[in-house]
Amino acid sequence: MQHGKECADTDVLDHLVRFPAGFQRHDTFLHDGTDPTSGDRTRRNWLRRPHRSVITDDEQMRKRCNHAAWVRRLVDAAKNGTLLDLREGVPAHLHDPATADQWPADRRIPARVIRDVLTGDHTGFDPQGLRIAGARITGDINFAHITFDFPLEIVQCRIDRTMDLTGVRLRQLTLSETYLPPLKLDGANITGDLVADRIVTNGEISMIGVTIGGQFDLDSARLHHPGRDALSLHNATITGALFARDITTDGAILARDATISRLDFTGAHLRNSGGDALSVDRATITGGLLAERITTDGEIRAIDATCGQLDLTGATLHNPKHHVLALNRATITGGLLAERITTDGQILAIDATISGKLDLTGATLHNPGDNVLALDGASVTGELLVVDADAPLNGTIPQFHADGRISAASTRFENRLDLRGAKSWSTDNAGLEIVLDGAVIRDLTLPADGPASISLSRAKITTLHTPDDQEPQYPVTATGWEIGDVHGHIRTDRAAADRWLNRGQGADASPQPWHALATVYERNGHPAEGRRLRFTAANKVTKATPWRSKLPRWLYRYSAGHGYYPLRAAGWLLAALMAGFVLVDMNRAHFVPTSLSEATTVADTVSGDAAPAEVEHSRTITGADDCAMHPQYPCLDAFSYALTGVVPAATGITRPDWAISTDAPLWVKAGIPVLRIFAWIFTAILLAGVTGLLRKSA
């Protein structure tokens, strides 16, 4: 720029003078405008006259002229609605603000000039406002608390010093493709859009409490403030969306307690290793947070936030041994989409409310030895999928890989929880644990294999789907679970269900899982299968009891099947009867008539002689004698004797004809009473079992 030309119309330039050689340089003019340098007399006369010094330095004068010229150019551009473009006639490679050190001096605008325009008279300004392109703005930029009811557009410029716009009021602010040091916009009020796409920063953009009536555009921006805050939007209000597509950051983006219509971080690269890459804690994002294909090195936080749909499809989240995504107590009203997401760290959504689908189809989660996904206490109203929703129920192709633990204790799944395809990263299936303790699940679908284990303790499952061709091939812990119905192979194959439950149970396993599944079998019309499961459960209890309790439980098991097979008592009752028959039949010689005199008389009648008393005693008959010897006295019927002497129900009031001899061996004397006692016991068990007193449902 030619300073003389720009200042030609000013009074200052018309009265510039120079002293001749040898005089001290002063830029001075006479009151009457005459030239004090024309001749010695004139000079002497001028020296005697009163005069005043206006400017004492050429450089200061040039600065004033330069300032006035820039003000005139900016005001003219604002009134004409034109862009003051300093890139005209400049090679394209010098348009980039990164090359600002190579720009000539005539592309430098003092920040004071812009301030004077913003604070001056705006009469006649075009609605497009003040527009500058390709300039290097120098000096302190203090625009704090300025009100400019027009757009301010600074495009492809280079800002040398911190730009302070604290508390400004602007109709619109554009900073596209501009290189910025720290930028302060705290408390600013921008009634329209804030456009800052493709900006490059070196320091913090502070926008705490800012109000933006339109959109905030940060597409393809590069924000650099390593280890510190790159963008602060605490308590901000953005009526429109915040677009940060393909943004690259080295530092934290913070928008805690902010209110934003929508956040779009599609394709963004956020880096703040070991800290927050993006934090929207307690924020309200009504339209959702879109972060497809986002790449992070640090944590994304939305604790206590309210958000529409959260879309992380194809994202890569990296924060090893720490949280990659924290959604604790957040409310996600439009679902959480995380198809094909890859993580190295924890996803937390403890006590969160997710209204809609939670889709992890094709995800790869890595955090060995700890949680890869924690949903404890959360509520998911839609489906939770790790496989395509339209995949057939018997599909076994894994589409979800994880190395760590999925924890959803006490979580409510009000729709389908589909875990088909869930598979460990490890080839030995030792990496993926699924914990659903205390969860309430309407519809649970399990894979055939893949996880290292699954825990369903205290879970309440309305419908459980298992593979159609086999039972699940991994251990399950299910103490205290409740099941409404079961589908798949274990619905009709009790042995398969038993094998599955056995995989995850230790020596002290609770019998409750077998009882719960038995109830389902009985409800579905398979009482025999249910009874077998209950019997299996009782046997497991026996194995776990102390040795002093094992003997009575074994007796109870073999006598009545722990109450589930009471007809076994009938078999034992029959065995007691047969034992009594054998005992009587093998020891007839030790049985004598109950009426000794009658039996003796019969014997005497058969002999035809009267015998002395001692002979009479010697001729007393026994059960072993031939019945022909006492045809008038009943023979000993071993079966009848055993029946009436052993089986309680067969005992009558008729006096028996035969009794055990007093000199019979002890085992004969005690045998029948002992058998009678056992028979009473087995009879009681049989009657209790038949009437249902021994049946157990838990």
Alpha helices in 93-230 (DSSP H): 111-119
Measured CA to CA in angstroms, residue 395 lies from 91, 390, 446, 468, 550 at distances of 62, 10, 11, 10, 45
Other C-beta atoms lying within 10 Å of the C-beta of residue 630: 20
Residues 644, 647, 648, 650, CA torsion sign:
negative
**Closest to 327 (Cα-Cα) out of 301, 346, 345:** 301
As beta bridge partners, residue 406 has 373, 434
Q: Quick one: tokens of 267? A: 């394709």
User: Amino acid identity of 472?
Assistant: P
| DSSP codes, 431-484 | SEEEE-TT-EEEEEE--SS-SSEEE-TT-EEEEEE--SSS--SS-EE-TT-EEE
Other C-beta atoms lying within 10 Å of the C-beta of residue 397: 11
Q: How many helices (H) and strands (E) does the chain have?
A: 14, 49
Q: What is the pLDDT of residue 47?
A: 42
- Rounded CA-CA distance 157/150 in Å is 19
| DSSP codes, 567-582 | THHHHHHHHHHHHHHH
User: Amino acid identity of 518?
Assistant: A
**Closest to 381 (Cα-Cα) out of 409, 411, 406:** 411
CB distance 467 to 440 below 8 Å: no
- H/E stretch holding 669 reads helix 666-691
Residues 561, 565, 566, 569, CA torsion sign:
negative
Phi, psi of 568 (to 5 degrees): -60, -30
Q: What is the pLDDT of residue 442?
A: 96
CB distance 480 to 509 below 8 Å: no
Q: What is the pLDDT of residue 377?
A: 96
**Closest to 621 (Cα-Cα) out of 661, 586, 581, 585:** 661
Name residue, tokens 């608390």.
145
Reduced to 3 states (helix: H, G, I; strand: E, B; else coil), residue 302 is coil
- Rounded CA-CA distance 279/488 in Å is 44
In this structure, what DSSP letter does residue 695 have? -
- Rounded CA-CA distance 491/368 in Å is 34
**Closest to 186 (Cα-Cα) out of 138, 137, 145:** 145
Other C-beta atoms lying within 10 Å of the C-beta of residue 2: 9
- Rounded CA-CA distance 331/283 in Å is 11
Radius of gyration of the chain (CA): 50
In this structure, what DSSP letter does residue 542 have? H
Phi, psi of 671 (to 5 degrees): -60, -50
Phi, psi of 139 (to 5 degrees): 85, 180
- Rounded CA-CA distance 424/409 in Å is 20
Reduced to 3 states (helix: H, G, I; strand: E, B; else coil), residue 58 is helix
- H/E stretch holding 149 reads strand 147-155
Residues 564, 566, 571, 573, CA torsion sign:
positive
Q: What is the pLDDT of residue 390?
A: 59
CB distance 485 to 520 below 8 Å: yes
Helix H, strand E, coil C: the string for 4-24 is: HHHCCCCHHHHCCCCCCCCCC
| DSSP codes, 632-645 | TS----HHHHHHHH
Q: What is the pLDDT of residue 193?
A: 97
Q: How far apart are the first and last CA of the chain?
A: 96
- Rounded CA-CA distance 314/341 in Å is 5
Measured CA to CA in angstroms, residue 316 lies from 319, 338, 619 at distances of 10, 10, 108
Alpha helices in 564-618 (DSSP H): 568-585, 596-607, 613-618
Q: What is the pLDDT of residue 162?
A: 95
Q: What is the pLDDT of residue 534?
A: 79
**Closest to 281 (Cα-Cα) out of 340, 211, 234:** 234
**Closest to 191 (Cα-Cα) out of 212, 173, 174:** 212
**Closest to 446 (Cα-Cα) out of 480, 482, 481, 475:** 475
| The model's pTM | 0.77
**Closest to 642 (Cα-Cα) out of 674, 687, 666:** 674
Q: What is the pLDDT of residue 14?
A: 36
- H/E stretch holding 558 reads helix 547-560
Q: Quick one: tokens of 674? A: 């002992």
* Residues lower than pLDDT 70 in the chain: 1-59, 388-398, 426-430, 505-509, 544, 552-563, 596-620, 649-655, 689-698
As beta bridge partners, residue 403 has 366
- Rounded CA-CA distance 611/341 in Å is 113
As beta bridge partners, residue 241 has 262
Name residue, tokens 């939770």.
384
- Rounded CA-CA distance 274/252 in Å is 11
HSE-up (13 A, CA, CB side) for residue 304: 6
- H/E stretch holding 384 reads strand 384-385
CB distance 569 to 547 below 8 Å: no
Do the strands 169-174 and 147-155 form a parallel or antiparallel pair, or are they unpaired?
parallel
Q: What is the pLDDT of residue 538?
A: 75
Task: Tell me the pLDDT tens digit for each residue of 591-650.
Answer: 888 876 655 555 555 454 444 444 444 456 888 888 877 777 788 888 888 888 777 766
User: Amino acid identity of 480?
Assistant: G
HSE-up (13 A, CA, CB side) for residue 40: 0
For the chain, the domains span 3-56, 568-689
Longest dimension (CA), the chain: 203
